[in-house]
Structure 1
Amino acid sequence: MTTIALRTRPAETRQAAGLGRGLLFLMSAATGLSVASNYFAHPLLDLFSRELNLGTSMAAMIVTAAQIGYGAGLLLLVPLGDLLERRKLAVGLFMVTAASLLVSATAPNGAVLLAGTVLTAFASVAAQVLVPFAAALAAPEQRGRVVGTVMTGLLLGALLSRTVSGGLSELGGWRTVYWVNALLMAAMAALLWRALPAMRSDAGLSYPALIKSTLLLFREEPVLRWRAGIGALSFAAFNGVWVALAFLLARPPYGWTEAAIGLFGLVGVGGPIAASMAGRQADRGGAQRVTGVGTLGMLASWGLLALGGSSLPWLLGGLILLSLAQQGLLVANQNVVYALRPEARNRLNAAFMTSNFVGGAAGSALVSVAWVNGGWSGVVLLGTVLSAGTVALWLLERARTKK
C-alpha cells in the first residue's frame, strides 16, 4: 500500500486549528440544506406524474437521476478537497447548486426537470466536502462526535426536506419548493464564505491522477471495500422505501395529499439521534458493535413494513426502525473509513459515498420495477433481500478482518 504525503500551507493550517460550536453548528446546518436538494422530489412524485404527464416509472426516474448526479459529483468533485482550497470549493458548489435549482423551478416539462435534478445533485456534494472538512478541523479524540454532529444536520436535512417540500407544494405549487431552496443555498454560501477558515491539503497530484488515486483506494484498502458494499446495499434499501412510499400513500387505502406525505419525513427524525450516538460509540472503539446493531435493525424493520401496506402504526414503526438503523450504520461506516488514511480523507469519503449513492440509484430504479410488478409486497421483498445482504457483508468482514 502506497501512502501519499500530505502538504499543507502553514498559515492556512493555523487558521484551521480548532472547531468552535458556532462553526460546527453552521457546517451541520449547511450540510443539511445542501443534501435536502436531493430529496424534495420524494413526496411530489405523484404530483409530477399528473402535472407533467409522466408515468410512474418516469417519475421515479427523477429520484434515480438525483442519485446518479450525486454519485458522479462524489467521484468527480469531492476528491478536489485534497487538491483545492476547501472553503472556495464548498462555497462555489453551493452557488452552482442554487443556480441549478432555478433550472428545476422553471422547468416546462419532465426532461428539463430531470436535467435540473441531475445538475443540482451533482453540485450538492458540497455536503460531502464539509463532512471531511469538519473531521479535519476536529481534535482526533473528538472526531467521532464532530462527524456525528455534522451528519445529524445532513440527515435532518434529508428527512425534513420531504416535510418542507410537501408543505410548500400545498401552499404555492411544486415550483415554490425549488425557488425557496435556491434562495437559501445562495444565502448559506455567503455565510460559509465569512465563517469557514481557509484550509488546503495539497496531495501533489494532477486532477486525472487524483481521480485515479480515488479509484485505486478500493484496491488498496480492503476495509473500504467491505464498508462500501455495506453502505451501498443499506442505502439502496433505505432510498427505495422512500420512493415507494410516495406511491403507497397517494393511493387507497391511504389517499394522502402531498403535504401529508411530506409529513412522513418526520418519522425519521430519530435517525439523527442515532447518528450522534453512533459517533460517540465509535470514539470509544465500538464501530463494529454499531455496525452489527444497524444491519440487524434494518433487516428487522422489513417485518414491520410488510404489515404497513394497509396499517399506519406498522408502517410508522417500520420506518422509524429503518431510519435509526440505517443512519447509525452510516456514521459507523464513515468513522471506520476516515481512520484509514487521514491524508486522503476527501478521496476516501468520495469513494465510500459514491458507492452509497450508486446503491441508492440502483435501489430507486429497482423499487419502481418492484412496485409496478408486485406492489408494496414486491417493495418489501426487495428491501428484505438488500438488508439481508448488509448483514452477510458485515459477518464476512468480521470473519476476514479477524484472520
Structure 2
Amino acid sequence: MTVTALDTPPRPGLSRGTAVALATAGALTVANIYFPQPLLDAIATGLGVSGSAAGLVATAAQIGYALGIGLVVPLADGARLRRLTTALLLLTTAGLLAAALAPGLATLTAATVALSTTTVLPQVIMPTAASMAGPGHSGRALGVIGIGLTLGSTLSRTLSGAVVGLSGDWRTAYLAAAALTGSLVFFLPRLLPERAAGGAVPYRRLIASLPRLVTAHPELRLSAFLGATVFAAFSAFWATLAFHLAGPPFDKGVAWTGLFGLFSLPAALLSYSAGRLSDRRGPRSVNLSAYACVCAAFLVLGLFGDRSTAALVVGSNLLVYGGSCWQIANQVRIFRLDEGIRARLNTLFMLASFAGGAAGSFTGTALYAAHGWGGMVLGCAGFLALAGAGLAAGRRLG
C-alpha cells in the first residue's frame, strides 16, 4: 500500500486503513470512560441510591483510568503488544459485563474501577502509531488517532443517552459497550507489531525507570508542564459550564452542556492539521499558534461569555481547537525521543496532564462558586500565564 492516514504513507507499517482502524479502536475504548456520565441519574433511580452516591461511578472511572495510565501503559515498552492488547480488551469487556449485571452500587463502582484501569488502549495506541509511522511522520499519525479519541469521548455521552432513552434501562448501554469493545479483539491485535522497539523489559524495570526519564529528558519536562497548565484551564471551563448554563441569563437544562460537546466537533476535526504542521515546522510553532487560540478563547469567554450563548459556542470551539493542537504538539515533541521508551514517556505526559486537569476542575469550580464566571476566567488566565512562561523558558527545546 502507498497511502496513509490522509495522504501518503509514512512507511508501509501505517497505511490509511490501519490508521483509521487504530483511530476507531481508540474511539471505542476511550468511550468507556465517558459514556456513563449522562446515565448517573438513571443509575441512581435503578439502584435506589441518591444522585451524589451514583456520582461515585464517574469518580471511579477517573481513578481507574489514572491507575491504568500509571501501571499498565508502561507495559507497552516491554510486553508483547498483541498479547497485551488482547488481554486488555478481554478484561475491559468482562468489566463492562460485570457492571451491566451489578446488583448494587458497590459492585458497579468496583467494576468501573477495574474496566477503567484496563481501557487504557488509547494511550498504548498513540506511541505505537507514532513508531509505526516512522521518523518525521509521527505528527500525522497522532493527528488521526487524536480525532478518534475526541469523537469517542464526545459522541459517547450522546449515544449512551440515546441508547438508554430507547431501551429504558441504563444496563443496555453497558451491554452495548461490552459488545463493541469485545469486537475489537478480532482485528486490533493483528494491526499492531508483535513487540515494541525496545524489546523485552521486565515490568519492575519499566516502572523503576519512570523517575529517571523525568530527570533525563528536558523535552519531557517541558511537554508535561505545558500539557498540565493548558489542560487545567480547559478542564476548569468544562467543569463549570453546566452550572453557568443552568443559571441566569441562560436557564438551560443539563442537555445543553452535552450539546456544547457537539457544537465543538468541527474544531476538534480541524485539529488534525496540528500533527502535519508539527512534522513540518516543529512542535514549538504549533504550540505558539495553539496558545494564541486558547488565549483568544478565554478573551471571548471573559468579555461576553456571561451573557451570550454565541460567545460560549465560539469560545468553546477556539478552546477545543487550541487545546487539541496543543496536546498533539506536546506529544510529538516527546515521541521524537528514544523510540524504545515512548509508552513510558506517554505515561508521564498523561499523568501530568491528568493532574493538571484535576487541579483545574477543582480550582475552576471553587472560583466559580466564590466569584462567578469572571473569577473562573481569571483563574484560567493564571494557568495560561504559567503555560506562557513555560513556553518562553523552553524555546530552545523545539
TM-score (norm 1): 0.84
Written as runs of structure 1 = structure 2, the 5 A alignment for 1:35-54 is 35-44=30-39, 52-54=49-51
Q: Is the 8 A contact 1:166 1:263 kept in 2?
A: no
Over residues 338-368 of structure 1, what are the superposed CA-to-partner deviations in whole Å (9 max), with x where a residue is unaligned?
Answer: 0011121111111111211222233334444
Paired residue for 1:199, among 185, 191, 195?
195
2:123 equivalent in structure 1: 128
Paired residue for 2:273, among 269, 277, 280?
277
Distance 2:326 2:127 in 1: 17
Paired residue for 1:168, among 140, 163, 169?
163
Cα shift at 1:242 = 2.3
Written as runs of structure 1 = structure 2, the 5 A alignment for 1:4-403 is 18-44=13-39, 52-55=49-52, 63-107=58-102, 111-171=106-166, 172-250=168-246, 253-306=249-302, 307-398=304-395, 401=397
Range with greater deviation from structure 2 (167-176 or 29-38): 167-176
2:5 equivalent in structure 1: none
Q: Is the 8 A contact 2:235 2:361 kept in 1?
A: yes
Q: Is the 8 A contact 2:78 2:195 kept in 1?
A: no
Cα shift at 1:144 = 1.7
Distance 2:359 2:235 in 1: 9
Range with greater deviation from structure 2 (329-338 or 297-306): 297-306
Question: Quick one: structure 1 residues 158 and 278, their matched pair in 2 at CA, closer, same or farther if it must change by over 3 Å?
Answer: same
Range with greater deviation from structure 2 (274-283 or 235-244): 235-244
Cα shift at 1:246 = 3.4
Over residues 115-163 of structure 1, what are the superposed CA-to-partner deviations in whole Å (9 max), with x where a residue is unaligned?
Answer: 3433332212111111111112113232221121111111221222232
Distance 1:45 1:385 in 2: 33
Higher relative contact order (CA 8 A, sep 6+): 1
Question: Quick one: structure 1 residues 228 and 46, their matched pair in 2 at CA, closer, same or farther if it must change by over 3 Å?
Answer: farther
Cα shift at 1:103 = 4.2
Q: Which amino acid aligns with 1:28?
A: A
Cα shift at 1:113 = 4.5
Cα shift at 1:230 = 0.9
Question: Quick one: structure 1 residues 392 and 102, their matched pair in 2 at CA, closer, same or farther if it must change by over 3 Å?
Answer: farther
TM-score (norm 2): 0.85
Cα shift at 1:280 = 0.6
Cα shift at 1:222 = 1.0
Unaligned stretches of 5+ residues in structure 1: 1-15
Distance 1:260 1:167 in 2: 15
Distance 1:309 1:104 in 2: 40
Question: Quick one: structure 1 residues 244 and 182, their matched pair in 2 at CA, closer, same or farther if it must change by over 3 Å?
Answer: farther
Cα shift at 1:24 = 1.3
SS in 2 for 1:140: coil
Q: Is the 8 A contact 2:198 2:339 kept in 1?
A: no
Over residues 278-322 of structure 1, what are the superposed CA-to-partner deviations in whole Å (9 max), with x where a residue is unaligned?
Answer: 111111133111101212322321232333344211111111110
Unaligned stretches of 5+ residues in structure 2: 1-10
SS in 2 for 1:37: helix
Question: Quick one: structure 1 residues 54 and 369, their matched pair in 2 at CA, closer, same or farther if it must change by over 3 Å?
Answer: farther
Q: Is the 8 A contact 1:98 1:183 kept in 2?
A: yes
Q: Is the 8 A contact 2:40 2:51 kept in 1?
A: no
Q: Which amino acid aligns with 2:86?
A: V
Identity %: 38
Cα shift at 1:191 = 2.5
Distance 1:365 1:110 in 2: 25
Distance 2:397 2:16 in 1: 36
Cα shift at 1:254 = 4.3
